Copies of this chain bind each other. A is one copy, B any other.
Amino acid sequence: MPFTSETSSNGVLERNFTLDEITGVLWTPTSRTVGAPLLLAGHTGGMHKKAPGLVASALQSVTTNGYTVAAIDAPGHGDRPRNRQDQQRADAIHQALAAGEPIAPIVIEFNRSLAERAVPEWQATLDALQALPEIGVDAPVGYGGVSLGVVTGVLLAPVEPRIAAMCFGGVFVDDALVEAARRITIPVEYRIPWDDEQFDRSTAIALFDAFGSKEKTLHAHSGRHYPVPDYERDSSDRFFARHLGRAPEPASI
């Protein structure tokens, strides 16, 4: 894995990496453990690998569960150049927001396009991460995402058997996403805001219903999309700990 920088703070080592066109970041406990579970974190559209909510969850997973967490920029996001078509879509979203028009149709189409491109990038990233001695091929792997990160996860999981559990936040839902969700069979925890005018509860519930998983939970909380309540972030940690285990005791590598 070609790391480009390394910093550490409060017991967490943060390393940026560049893998071909993919720009990413890896957070690990400074007391590194071999074989600790690995979380892949998918950011929302318009954000990047170090979106504040993503970083908060990642640091909590590292310090609470001893996990390793990786995030990559979606195509055209963060440190990656954006092509003309993606820029037009992003502009269209901003124009709709400014005009007070619904953004869901544009976001749904943009998310789908980005997610389809992100799937092979996540697989290449996972290959590279598993080649690291402190991760290895035996570390259980989970995936967490919000918005664009959900769409990416729903497309990724059915083609990526290495992913054993997924935790999702709110997302714009269309029929294609509902259909794709039927192919998910791993445990899912799905968290939605109940009082956010940007989200349609009924489609969120349809998405939950579609997951083909034997164990799935829907958590609806009063309030809006952001910030995520602390108790929901804690619940995600426990969800992953149930399905992926916790990190083994620290050992030198």
Contacts and interface: CB of A to CB of B under 8 A. Distances in A.
Find the residue from A205, A222, A223, A235 having the highest chain B CB count within 10 A: A222
A89 interface: no
Interface residues of A, number: 22
Nearest to A190: B220
A218 interface: yes
A116 interface: no
B231 A222 contact: no
Interface string A214-239: 11111111110000000100110011
B235 A208 contact: no
A60 interface: no
Tell me the dominant secondary structure on chain A's binding face.
Answer: mixed
Nearest to A217: B221
What's the number of copies of this chain in the assembled complex? 2
A194 interface: yes
Contact of A218 (B214, B218, B242): B218
A181 to B, nearest CB: 13
Contacts of A216: 194, 221-222
A142 B216 CA distance: 28
Interface of A: 194, 201, 205, 208-209, 213-223, 231, 234-235, 238-239, 242
